[in-house]
Chains A and B, each alone.
Chain A
């Protein structure tokens, strides 16, 4: 564990990223305390510029809602959607990849065709269509993002399984008569964990970008404040009120950047053999 942290901390960007990420998580966790009111409530006059009134550092939007409250409550939605959709995508991708890589043959062929098909479809367009047809809600957004993000996981896990399957410790388990399910779950899968964790951290970042893009287009859950929605709603008053779209954008940028940096740090720490040059 200490080794892990030492390797992680050697990457300065990763430490900065982790710091930002912790701040965002705290903001999300403390949102109900910092802004107990609903972020949809009108609390001040509309179009209040930032830094002009105590307690409203980020100004208000076209309806007099506090942008600060929107930022805090939006953090919850971004993180929630990012994490849950990544977990769903991982469970699809790991299952299919493990089956394809472990059993090989016809099953592998079929599953890989299926994966390729999903990789070919333009993924943002598919996400739009899915959310529009199944009506915008947290569930449909999470499912849509998961459906467009699992293929790379399946390919990664399949590749790892292919190379691990022929290794001695796996062969030994076969010889002593362990069941396939047991070998997959207890022998091979734990060994694929490192690259999957690295990929997952990057997937959360992409999922947050996707969620914000969907909400921006008006496909967000209408019951929850989100950063993408805030920017989409402020788009028409861009010329009069820059702050309404500026701050939520910075929030997305920082969160996604932090996750990417942490992902690189995890890569350095978990795959030391592959540690990149130039550091």
Chain B
């Protein structure tokens, strides 16, 4: 089977997943206590009779369920995720405004964690049983067990309040009016703490995974053959072991990249980072269900997208994929 048909099949599967999520969302709104129109309008706020009737009309809430579902799915397909009555803006535009900040944060955290995680894991595996290994394994285990939001708070306390090295709030200095390079530098300074705290947990995940995977591959026959042939140990680790050991790590990274949105809710909330994670927290506080489900849909869509990218990367890294 060719690469193209493999990717097409994955694409179709991804689309089905998205459709299923839309349907799930549809039923979740209806599962919330109270009338769906009330729920969409927000519990308090502008829910007078006229307004509710308008909503019922617009979403066909007095029509049979399957017609309601059709209207809802049609809306999502045309990127209409409804209206946030709390913020008086469309959900799509609210998410659109906040998405770049989240992508910057999660993208940076992703690169940091993958790079350091693989490096640490490989180092531990190469020195298995020695003190380097024990140190890396222990540190990874501790960060793996630490709540993300708590690390974030402690980082603010240490680096922002106590040492005063880095800003721990927002994405730009309020009222500084930086332009050009100074503006970019300002954003980067604000990015350091949130990206590092979000990345720490995943660094631990990748380090553990890389170590375990490498130890497994080291036992394989072809590695023994390479050793017997007298290939230099460093070359065995880099070429024979690491390349194959990275396959499961890539799969995991693909899954985690999308899942990072979840971590971003916590990090962005603590650091007041203006992304969709923070938006989700605000939606929670205001019980703005339309917005909440919109963000849920977009983050699911991102997971599907990242899984597709992973599949694509896989076809290049693992030649066996093509024949299977």
Interface residues of A (CB under 8 A from B): 13, 117, 119-126, 128-130, 132-135, 205, 209, 212-213, 216-219, 228, 231-232, 235, 238-239, 242, 245-246, 248-249, 252-253, 256-257, 260-261, 276-279
Tell whether, in the assembled complex, residue A123 and residue B289 are in contact, meaning their CB atoms are under 8 Å apart.
no
Q: Which single member of A132, A217, A249 contacts B289 (CB below 8 Å)? A: A132
Q: A123-B262, A128-B265, A217-B284 are in contact. Are A133 and B147 (CB under 8 A)?
A: no
Pair A261/B149 contact, Cβ less than 8 Å: no
- Is there contact, CB below 8 Å, between A134 and B304? no
Q: Does the CB pair B304–A260 fall under 8 Å?
A: no
A128, A235, A261: most-surrounded residue (chain B CB, <10 A):
A128
Would you call B145 and A124 a contact (CB within 8 A)?
no
Find chain B residues with CB under 8 A from A249 CB: 146-147, 150, 153-154
Q: Are B161 and A124 in contact (CB under 8 A)?
A: no
Q: How far is the CB of A187 from chain B (nearest CB, A)?
A: 30
Interface string of B291-321 (1 = CB under 8 A from A): 0110110011011100100000000000000
- The answer to whether B147 touches A253, judged by C-beta atoms less than 8 angstroms apart, is yes
- Report B241-274 residues with CB < 8 Å from chain A CB: 255, 258-259, 261-263, 265-266, 269-270
Q: A122-B258, A122-B303, A129-B296 are in contact. Are A213 and B157 (CB under 8 A)?
A: no
Instruction: Determine whether the beta carbon of B147 is less than 8 Å from that of A209.
Output: yes
Q: Is the CB of A212 within 8 A of B147?
A: yes
A125–B300 touching, CB < 8 Å = yes
Q: Which of A13, A135, A228, A235 contacts B33 (CB 8 A)?
A: A135
- Is B4 among interface residues, defined by CB-CB distance under 8 A? no
Kindly list chain B residues whose C-beta atoms are within 8 Å of the C-beta of A238: 153, 156-157, 161
Residue B31 CB within 8 A of the other chain: yes
Residue of A133, A257, A276 near B31 (CB, 8 A) is: A133
User: Is B28 interfacial (CB 8 A cutoff)?
Assistant: yes
Chain B residue numbers with a CB within 8 Å of A245 are 150, 153
Contacts of B258 in A (CB 8 A): 122
Q: 30 A-B pairs, CB-CB below 8 angstroms?
A: A120-B300, A121-B21, A121-B303, A122-B258, A122-B296, A122-B303, A124-B263, A125-B295, A128-B262, A128-B280, A128-B292, A129-B28, A133-B28, A134-B33, A209-B147, A216-B147, A216-B266, A217-B281, A218-B285, A228-B147, A231-B149, A235-B270, A238-B157, A242-B157, A245-B150, A249-B146, A252-B147, A253-B147, A256-B146, A256-B147
Q: Are A125 and B215 in contact (CB under 8 A)?
A: no
With A117-B20, A242-B157 as given contacts, are A217 and B265 in contact (CB-CB < 8 Å)? yes
CB distance from A238 to the nearest CB of B (A): 6
For the complex, what is the distance from the CA of A212 to the CA of B161, rounded to whole Å?
A: 24
Least CB distance from A145 to B in Å reads 13
Docked complex Cα distance between A253 and B145 (Å): 6
Closest B residue to A245 by beta carbon equals B153
Q: Is the CB of B265 within 8 A of A129?
A: no
Are A132 and B269 in contact, with the CB atoms below 8 A?
no
CA distance A260 to B266 in the complex (A): 22
Instruction: Tell me which residues across on chain A come within 8 A of B59, comparing CB atoms.
Output: none
Q: What 1/0 mask marks residues of chain B from 276 to 292 whose CB sits below 8 Å from any chain A CB?
A: 00001100110101001
Q: Shortest CB–CB separation between residue A20 and chain B, in angstroms? A: 11
Which residues of B does A touch, CB under 8 Å?
Answer: 17, 20-21, 28-29, 31-33, 128-129, 133, 141-142, 144-150, 153-154, 156-157, 161, 212, 215, 255, 258-259, 261-263, 265-266, 269-270, 280-281, 284-285, 287, 289, 292-293, 295-296, 299-300, 302-304, 307
CB of B141 within 8 A of CB of A133, answer: no
Measured between alpha carbons, how far is A132 from B133 in the docked complex, in Å? 42
Within 8 Å by CB of B128, from A217, A232, A278, lies: A278
Cβ contacts under 8 Å, B215 to chain A: 276-278
Q: Are A124 and B262 in contact (CB under 8 A)?
A: yes
Chain A min CB distance to B106 (Å)? 11
Q: Is the CB of B146 within 8 A of A253?
A: yes
Which residues of chain B are near A126, meaning CB under 8 Å?
296
Is A278 a contact partner of B133 (Cβ separation < 8 A)? yes
Nearest-neighbor residue (CB-CB) of A240 within chain B? B161
- Bound CA span A245–B158, Å: 13
For B148, the closest partner residue in chain A by CB is: A213
A125 lies within 8 A of B296 (CB): yes
- A253–B147 Cα distance when bound, in Å, is 7
Asked if A117 meets B263 with Cβ closer than 8 Å, knowing A209-B147, A216-B149, A278-B129, the reply is no
Which residues of B have CB within 8 Å of A13? Answer: 141
Q: How far is the CA of A126 from the CA of B261 in the complex (A)?
A: 11
Q: A residues within 8 A CB of B133?
A: 278
Say whether B153 contacts A235, CB under 8 Å: yes
Closest beta carbon of chain B to A258's beta carbon, Å: 8
Write the nearest CB–CB distance from A81 to chain B, whole angstroms.
14
B17 neighbours in A (Cβ, 8 Å): 117, 120
Q: Which residue of A lies closest to B266 (CB)?
A: A213
**B22–chain A nearest beta-carbon distance, Å:** 12
Contacts of A257 in B (CB 8 A): 141-142, 145
